[in-house]
Amino acid sequence: MTTFTPDAITAWLTDHPNWSLGDDGMLHADYMFKNFTQAMQFANAVAFLAETADHHPDMVIHGYKHVRVSVMSHDRQGITERDFKLITQIDNLPGFGA
């Protein structure tokens, strides 16, 4: 599986404005919800997608209504097509997308 260059990642991210490439090499997105329940519903929806794809992001729930999702193909130590596919699925979640 090919890892993408920072330039290729940046170009791909133009269609996914909620996501950014961090200094740690991971793709990050921050979401804010109306309340804790919505934040947890979103986190559970992402968990379902991740489990189905067998590709698990890091997630942090903080400030009771904020969720940070961080994605990277750890086995490749970079960003691969698997990351892009998962991000697209996350962005397409009804009511949650960027």
Q: pTM for this one?
A: 0.92
Q: What is the mean pLDDT of residues 9-34?
A: 96
Q: How far apart are CA 91 and CA 75, in angstroms?
A: 23
| Closest by CA position to 22, among listed 67, 85, 68 | 68
Does domain 6-91 fall into CATH 3.10.129.10? no
CA distances from 69 to 1, 2, 50, 56 (A): 22, 22, 11, 10
> Which whole-number Å values give the CA distances from 39 to 8, 42, 44, 59, in the listed order?
31, 5, 9, 11
CA distances from 89 to 7, 26, 45 (A): 22, 17, 10
What's the Cα-to-Cα distance from 70 to each of 31, 84, rounded to whole Å?
12, 12
Bridge partner residues of 59 (DSSP): 69
pLDDT in tens, 38-95: 999 999 999 999 999 999 999 999 999 999 999 999 999 999 999 999 999 999 998 7
